[in-house]
Structures are given as C-alpha cells and as structure tokens.
Amino acid sequence: MSAVISLVNTLNTYLWSYILIALLIFLGAFFTFKSGFIQFRLFGDMFALITGKLNSLKDGEANLKGQVSSFQSFCISVASHVGTGNLAGVAIAVATGGPGALFWMWLIALLGGATSLVENTLAQVYKEKDGDGFRGGPAYYIEKALGQKALGKFFSIIVLLTFAFAFNTIQANTIAQAFETSFNMDVKIGGAIIAALTAAVIFGGVHRIAKFSGTVVPVMSIAYVIVAIFVLAVNITKLPSLFVLIIESAFGMKQVVGGTLGFTILQGVKRGLYSNEAGMGSAPNAAATSNVSHPVKQGLLQAFGVFVDTILICSATGFIVLLYPEYNTIGLKGIQLTQVALSHSVGAWGAHFITFCIFLFAFSSVIGNYYYGEVNLEFLLKNKMTMFIFRILVVIFVYIGSIVPLGLVWDIGDAFMGIMALINIVVIALLTPTAMAIIKDYYTQRKDGKNPVFYAKNIPNLKNTECWND
C-alpha cells in the first residue's frame, strides 16, 4: 500500500505542479490568441443565450420532446464542477498562497474560457443520437475525429472511475461531515439520506438529472453570490484596500523577496483550473446532450460556466475570507475558515448557511459527476442491465464515501483526472484547425446579423458528424 501511495503522490506532484498547469495555461493563451479573443468578443452572445434573446435553436424550431435544452446542459456541467472546492479549496488557496492567489484564479478563468469553448464545441460537433436525445464528449471526438477508438475507450474508463466513483465518494463524505458538525447527525444516517436522494435523481434518467440541475444550480449560485455581495456591502469602506492588497500580493516585491510569489501563482492557478475544469475533458460530456442550431452556441454557454465558477463563486469565497482580519493567523483552513469568515461578517447564521451551501454544491456535484460516468459507460457498453447495475454501484459508493476516511481516494482521483486532462489537452490541440473553422463559421454568421445554423458540409474535410449532415 505504501508503494501505491508513493506512486500516486509522485504522479500528482509532477502532473499538477508542473506539466498540466503549464500545458493548460499555454493552451488557454493559444486558443485565446488563435480565435481572436473570442471569449471576450462574444461575451454578449453568452448572456443572450442564457436569457433567451439569442435562440439556441433555429428560428421557429423548438426542442423536441424529451431533449435536453442548452441551458439544462450548461447547468449539468456547472453542477459537477461547482462543488466544495469553490468553498473549501479557495479558502485554502487564499490562506496558504495569500490574497494574490485570487488574481491568478481570475487570469486562468479568462484564458480557460477559450479552452472551454473549443472542447465543448467539439463535443457538440461529434455527438451522436441516443433515443430522443444526444450523447457525446471527449471519448466520442477521440474516436470520430481522430479514429482512435481504443484511446476513446481508455478515456471513458478513466472518466467513469474518476467522477462516478472517486469524486462522488469524496463529495458525499463532505456532506456527511458537514451534517455531523452542524446537526450532530451520525454519518451513517447522513450517508443513507444522501444515497437515497442520489438514487431518486439518477434512476430518473437524463431528463430528471437535467431538470434537477436546471433548478438547483441557478438557485444555489445566485444565493451564494447575493450573500457575498451583502458581505461586500457591509464592508464597503474596506473594498479599495482589499483590491489593492490582491493586486500587490499577485505582483508585489514583498512576495518576490520572500520567495513566495511562485507559490502564490501556483496556488491560484491550480485552484482555478481544478475548480472550473477548463480543458480537463469533463464538461464536454454534458455539453453534447443539448439540441442547438450551432455547436459554438453550447461552447459559449460552457465558457460562461467557467466565468460563473471562478469569477463569481470562487471570488465570492475569496472576498469573504479576505474580509476576515485573522484569515491567515487563526490556523483554520478549508471549509472551517469559510464558515468562521462568513460568521464574522453576517453573524452566527453564516456557519449554517455554509453548511446548506455545502449540501447543495456537493450534492449537485454528485449528480453531475454521475452523469459524466453514465455518458462514458454508454460509449463502452450500450446495455440497460449494465446501466442499472452501474446506478446501484454509484449509490453504494456514495453511502460508503459518507462513512469512511477518503485520503487515498482523493489522491487517486486527482491522479486519474490528471491523466484524463493530459489526453484531452493533446486531442483538442490536434483538432485546433477544425475547431477554429467552426468558430469562424459562427462568427461570420453573427456579423451578418443571423442566428447561426451549422451544416457540416460548410467545413472542408469534416466527417463523422451525423447530427449535422442536414
């Protein structure tokens, strides 16, 4: 066992501290410049798609019965990557890396928007029909665009193990521990409740998952941001100095002289990437499910999800923690620091509000993570009995995760996700010409004042795109 732990820790150190961070930053910058800063130029389209002012479908077309809407698809992916990391992980980054870590989170989100747009656009292009709806993701574009079916299957297995099992046990454990702390509830009872709720949602299929995510994600995100705005309002006189502190800590000479600037950057970038998952290959599994008139529309929505995750929710946590005078001296880290910091600004109810947020954030992640596993299981085996057994196993793992320590599981999950991200980075880099041609097709139609509609025949040498052939 010690050899396994050592191997996993070494893999995580090199993957996350060096290789992946460098590649994801480079890829985000490359896609940003290559696309002409598309995530900024089309930021208005993101809002128009969210509000419905720009129809995600063709003019006059409606979602067919049973199909997942573009907004629901967006919410499924946000449900997965908006989790406990937004509350606990950001607090750790700020407490250990300093206020400047928040600035580097912002930067990586702005660059990551382009990467997210590319990978999720590709997921839409290479999706396939599944009954009344669609399925897709990196495994599908690995097979269809590159002809690497074996690699696609390997990727699917990694996604399934990472999200449906490893990360879901961790999220369930977080909820159970929060219930025990706040309500003195035995973890076995908490685990049973979490497992039952999970079963109630996932056995309803993708449509119940979509409906759940489309309801819970907006509510939990808006509620948390409103509380953060309230905290900023009651501390409004401190805001100018707060922003100065963040910028100074991100570039300050004190950090350079003290040798901590590199650590500050590492903490901010790492937490930002881990939180919004841009380039990791996870969100495309949800992005492919929707019915849209042009693949870039879903890519834009998913890019907006990166901004929601990091610029809004992670920033909310960062501000709450930094406005607590003793954030770096009290000795608390993670979710406890967030609870204490919020209680300092709003009163004792702040700690209970964080518990409520943990439940919503973590449980929505359980559902989103499960769906990533389902999509990839269908890529491997299209069998109803297999899917039924898979759902049973997910519920069992959620319960087990609630009642046992999970240190090694977390490390293994990180290692698997690192492997997954490495594969996806290489694949989307290889598919850059295709992605850029499709983005250009969308942008040209928007400049002409059209509601963009995509036809595969308009992109030279594009193949295996059966959902876009007419």
User: CA gyration radius for the chain?
Assistant: 21
What number of CA atoms fall less than 13 Å from residue 203's CA on the CB side? 13
Can you give the pLDDT at residue 201?
Answer: 87
The CATH class of the 2-56+66-437 domain is mainly alpha
Can you give the pLDDT at residue 258?
Answer: 46
Under 8 Å between Cβ of 282 and 159: yes
Can you give the pLDDT at residue 392?
Answer: 94
**Model confidence pLDDT, tens digit, residues 121-165:** 999 999 988 776 788 899 999 999 999 999 999 999 998 888 888
**Angle formed by the axes of helices 43-51 and 295-307, to 10°?**
100
377: left (phi over 0), alpha (psi -120 to 50) or beta: alpha
Can you give the pLDDT at residue 60?
Answer: 45
Can you give the pLDDT at residue 436?
Answer: 95
**Sequence ranges of the domains in the chain:** 2-56+66-437
Can you give the pLDDT at residue 260?
Answer: 55
Which parts of the chain sit beneath pLDDT 50? 60, 62, 257-259
Neighbours of 461 (CB within 10 A): 7
List strand residue ranges (DSSP E) for 59-130, in order: 128-130
Cα–Cα distance for residue pair 462/35, rounded to 1 Å: 19
Give how far the C-alpha of residue 463 lies from the chain's centroid of Cα atoms, to the nearest Å.
Answer: 29
Neighbours of 299 (CB within 10 A): 33
Can you give the pLDDT at residue 247?
Answer: 84
